[in-house]
Every structure is written in C-alpha cells, then in structure tokens.
Structure 1
Amino acid sequence: MQFGFSSYSFYQHLRTGRMSLFDVIDWIGASDATHMEIATVSLSPEISNDTSTLDQDPAFVQQVKTRAADQGVTLSNLVVPADLLGEDAPRHLARVKRHLDVAAELGITLFRHDVTRWAHRAKDIAEFEALMPRMVEVCRDIARYAAQYGITTSVENHGLLMNGGERVRRLIHLVDEPNFRTTLDVGNFMSVDDNPVVAVAENAPYASIVHLKDFYVRRQYPGEGWHHTPGGVYLLGSIVGYGDLDMRRIVQGIVAADYDGFISIEFEGIEECLMANPIGLANAKRLFAEAQAEAAATAGAAAGTGVAASAGAVAGAGAAK
C-alpha cells in the first residue's frame, strides 16, 4: 500500500501562488509520502471552476514528469472534472480524452473523470434511471479509449448524482469494461447521506484508488462555510483522523477487501494545509497499520481454531480405534 496526497490537499497555497505544483512535488518528495495524484482543479484560480490548461501545455507536462522523477514521487492518478450529460458534453468528452493523452505521457495509469457537474441532482429515481444509458455509453467510450494506454479509468462517488455506493457499483457493472472501476472517496458518501462505513466496505473491491478524507459532522447549522447535505447534515473538511467519521471502521473495510493500492489523502479543511497534511498522513498510516494487524490477528486466531479442531478430530478418531 502506498500513501500520498492529491494536489488538491494544497489548494490553499496553490490558489494564492504561495506554492506551485513543483513546490508541492518537492514537499511530497521530502515527506513520508510516495505518490501524488494531480487534480486539475487545483491548478485553477477558483476551486469550483476548472480552467486549467494541462492538456494544452506539453512543455509544462514534461517539466512535471521530470520533477516528479527527480524527487522520487510516483504520479498515481489524474483527476479531471467533466459534465458529460449537459449541452456541452462533446467538448467535455474531447477534453477528457486529451487528458488521457496527458496521463499516458506522464506515465500515469489511473484516471478519474466525472459524469456530470457536482450539483446535478436527479429529481427522483426515474430521472436517474433515464440518465443511466448515457452514463454507461460515455464511460464505456472513455474506458475503451484509455485501454490503448493501459490506463484504468474510474468515476468517483462525487457530487449529488453519481454518488451513493449502489449507484456507483451499478454503473461499473453496466459499463462492464475491465479497466473501469471507481475512485473510492471515503467521505463523499456523506454528501448524499449514505453511511460511509457500509458504502466503503461494499465498494472497496471495485476501487482503483482510495481518497482518504475526514469531516466534522453537525446536525444543526454551525455557521458559514459548511456543506449542507440533502438530508440536513452539515459537513466541514477536517484533518484525517480528527473529524467525526468512524475512520477506524472505514479503514477496516478497505483492509478487509484486500485493497493494496494507492491511498491518497485529500485534505479540504480550513486548517493550514502544511500543518494538516503531515498529521493526516501519520494518522492514515497508523490507522491502516492497526487495521492490518487486527486482520492478521483475527486470521491467525481463526487458523489456530481450525488446526485445534482438526487435531481434536484426529485424536478422537484415534481413540475410537
């Protein structure tokens, strides 16, 4: 298992110009992390509107590739927003495919794209079902395009439409391409009031990469800056391990699924990111180490019980003779 960061975790300083993407790569290279995923929105002036030009700047792409290699940082995943259901869907689809070309150039083998804008919410399940054939068609098209590069594509449980554990799994099964999976964000299920402990455990077998994040959770309005879910819950990003998510059980669900890929910390809280990110990384490593040790101990105890039962059966058979 490899631990690292999304470039989004540094958005506070990327937006203000205090850090460049190269500074982020250097910081990660000097830390205990091993990889970085590039979220194109973190390269935009406004976090809510992706105006990045990574797909139009081959010189910059080569500089990023060289800097990561020099710092020993693996580029793990490329994260690109898209609205593939709206009026401008053809342009978004072309942009996604150009970014797949960029991912191949960077040596990135994982790629996450949206199917629609974050706030798109079906009025009811019938509307969602009506949209499903188009989502399947476009995700299959992208996955097949990516296959030429050996890239695995994915959708994230992100926003209000393609979110919730069952919806994500259903899309994966209907697309039915071997290189189409999910970017599993352990916190985003909360945005549609899905139970993250249950949803993570059920979706972990389909994960191409895991986003580890945490939230403060409140049932009454706490003040400005909190995200409001459809079910009336208020969320605010926190340092991994400091929030109200049951992170121990969430991590246990990932370990139980035998997931052994990239763990990408996606910090989106209000704490200073250069303080928050090392703490989150240390907490993540500790939580996974504890979960793995518990799983090994449980497996060992079960094996011991089986051996003892088998020995008892043999002894019993011998006595019967």
Structure 2
Amino acid sequence: MFTDRRRFLAASATLVAGTSGRAGAAEGPKTRPTHIGVSTYSFWQFKNDKLRDVETCIDLAGEMGFDAVEILHRQMTDESAAGMQKIKRRAFLNGMGLCGFSIHQGFVYKDKDERQKNIDHTIKCLEMCYAMGIPTMRVNTGRWGTIKSFDDLMKNRGVEPNLPGFTDEDGFKWVTDALTACLRTAEKCGVVMGLENHWGLGRTPEGVLKIVDAVDSPWLRVTMDTGNFLEDPYDNLEKLAPKTVLVQAKTYFGGGLWYSLDLDNDRIARMLRKHKYAGFVSLEFEGKEDPRTGVPKSLEALRKAFAV
C-alpha cells in the first residue's frame, strides 16, 4: 500500500512540474488589466450645474462602466462627516473604488501667512481623504498669479511672469517647505500626495521633479496629467513616469474647453507599461461635447488604448 502511495505521489509531482513548466513557457508573466476611473470634473467641468452633484456623477460613472471615481474637491457641496460617508457609500454600491482626490491649493505666495493658509487647507484635505478611504491626493505648486484670468493664462500657453523682485528659486523653496510641512499628516492618514504637472512651477517635468526630489518622501510622488504639456508631451510625460502614482488622462471630444491636443493614448499606454505603471488611469474629459456622450466615448478610447 505504501509503495503504491509513493508511486502515486511521485507521478503526480512529475505531472504537475511538467504542466507548470509548459504553462510558464506558453503564457509568460501575467499582466493585470488597467483600471480606468473618471474624475467628477469630467461631468461638471465647472459649468454643467445639473451634473455638479457628486453622488449623481458616481451613479453615471457606474452606469457607464468605469472602475473607480476621482473626486474633485471644489465640486463637493457637503464636507460634513456624513456627507463624506455618503460619497464612500455611493461608490461602494456602484461596485467602484475612490481612486483619487483633486484639490486646489498653491504655495507660490510671498506672504508667509498665505502659504500657511494653504498648508492648513492641504492638511484638512488629507484628513478628508482618510475619512473617505481615498489613497492619493492631487496637489499643485500654485502659480505667481501675475495673470489673473485663467482664460488669459491659457491664451499665453500657461506661461506667466514672476512676481517683481522674486525668482523661481524663491518659489521652489516655498513649495518644498510647504509640502514638507504636510508629510506628517499624509503619513498618518496613509495618503500619497501626487504633485501634478499643472502650470506654475509644475509646468515642466523638471519643475515637478525638482520639488519631489527635494522633499524626498514616499508620501509625495507625481500625478501625471497627459494634457498639461503643450509642447513635446510624450518626452515630458516619460520623465514623470517612474514616480507617477495616478494618471489623469485628458480627452477633448467636441473640441477642447481651452485647447485641444491630439494625444496618442496608445503611445502613452505603451510608455507607462514600459515603466511598469500599475495604478489607475483617471479620465479628465475636457471637451465641449455633452459629458453624457463625450465621457462614454472617452472610456471606450481609453479601454482600447490600455487593453493588455
């Protein structure tokens, strides 16, 4: 009996080993599909009042087939504890996660009190992420503010003069010191801040990485926006890829609200795979087409580009 049992086990082991070897050779390493989320901004765009309600946006995202939702802080009308839990509950009921939180703040101010005000705001938003179970938060450098209108800034392709008497190095120090002051809360809340390539001192990959490298913390990485480099987008995006924790993918069906870029999402997807990016891709629809049709078209385009 014992001899038969030993023969059976030996034969089984040989069969399993042979099968495993053939499967490994045939299939190679497994690649997980890319999860596609959508920013609530894609629906509201600061102008579609009927689509401002965050819970409505979450329902639409679920119906359209997204995997997750990124919340735009300025879109929220209820920041109470109960209001935040309603958002988390709504995403859960739609079978989706909350993949990001985008806030508006900046630290390029000569006034120390104004910088502290923005530090306090950033810390408050990190705690909101914790309450909603959101793992990463988009932050900005801020900008000089010498061009008051955002429309005019876009006409000038995101470039503005410095405040008189101050240099970029002054601005970089303000931003670095401010984000460093937020690290303790980020770590306590388990929220990775992602510095976005978003005008101001973050208008170039070199500017973004100068700050991230100076802060030198796992709690500050990069949020990559595919539509915020108006020149040489692919080379610039690739410089950010190794430190990216969230990708915001722009689309422009119906023409762009401020400008349109003819982005090659297939190329961007290949580049991200090369750098082993495994995080979420979050749609930021910035076209003039009705979001009810432009957003689903965008999802289809991103699914195709990021298909394994």
Q: From 160, 179, 202, give the equivalent of 1:162.
A: 202
Give the direction of change, closer, same or farther, for the CA distance of 1:20–1:70 in structure 2 (3 Å limit): same
**Is it true that 1:270 corresponds to 2:292 in the alignment?**
no
Which has the higher Rg, Structure 1 or Structure 2? 2
Deviations 1:68-87 (A, max 9, x none): 11211201111110122323
CA contact (8 A) 1:213 1:265 kept: yes
Counterpart CA distance in 2 for 1:34 and 1:226 is 25
| Aligned equivalent of 1:58, options 73, 77, 81 | 81
Match in the other structure for 2:234: 197
TM-superposed deviation, 1:215: 5.2
Contact 1:14 1:42 in 2 (8 A): no
- Which one of the candidate residues 90, 107, 123 is aligned to 2:133? 107
Aligned CA distance change for structure 1 residues 259 and 119 (closer, same or farther; 3 Å): farther
Matched residues, number: 256
Paired position in structure 1 for 2:268:
250
**What corresponds to 1:91 in structure 2?**
117
**Post-superposition CA distance 1:167-213 (Å, at most 9, x none):** 111211111001210110011011xx3x1110111211111100001
The structure with higher relative contact order (CA 8 Å, sep 6+) is: 2
Tell me which of 56, 67, 76 is aligned to 2:90: 67
Which of 65, 72, 75 is equivalent to 1:42? 75
Gaps of 5+ in 2: 1-33, 147-159
Asked if structure 2 preserves the Cα contact closer than 8 Å seen for 1:118 and 1:158, the reply is: no
Give yes or no for the alignment of 1:27 onto 2:60: yes
Mapped partners of 1:276, 1:39: distance in 2: 19
Could you list the runs of 5+ residues in structure 1 that have no partner in the other structure?
44-51, 217-221, 228-234, 237-242, 293-321
Deviates more, 1:244-253 or 1:75-84: 244-253
CA distance in 1, matches of 2:179, 2:246: 17
Q: Is the 8 A contact 1:118 1:159 kept in 2?
A: no
Corresponding letter in the other structure for 1:204: A
Cα offset for 1:119?
Answer: 4.9
Percent sequence identity is 26
Is residue 182 from structure 1 mapped to residue 222 from structure 2 by the alignment? yes
Q: CA RMSD in A?
A: 2.4
Tell me if structure 1 keeps the 8 A contact 2:246–2:280. Answer: yes
1:148 is paired with a residue whose SS is: helix
8 Å CA contact retained: 2:176, 2:211 = yes
Q: In structure 2, what is the equivalent of residue 8 of structure 1?
A: 41
Larger deviation: 13-22 or 207-216? 13-22
CA distance in 2, matches of 1:273, 1:204: 28
Q: Amino acid of the residue matched to residue 173 of structure 1?
A: D
Asked if the contact 2:51/2:57 (under 8 Å) is kept, the reply is no
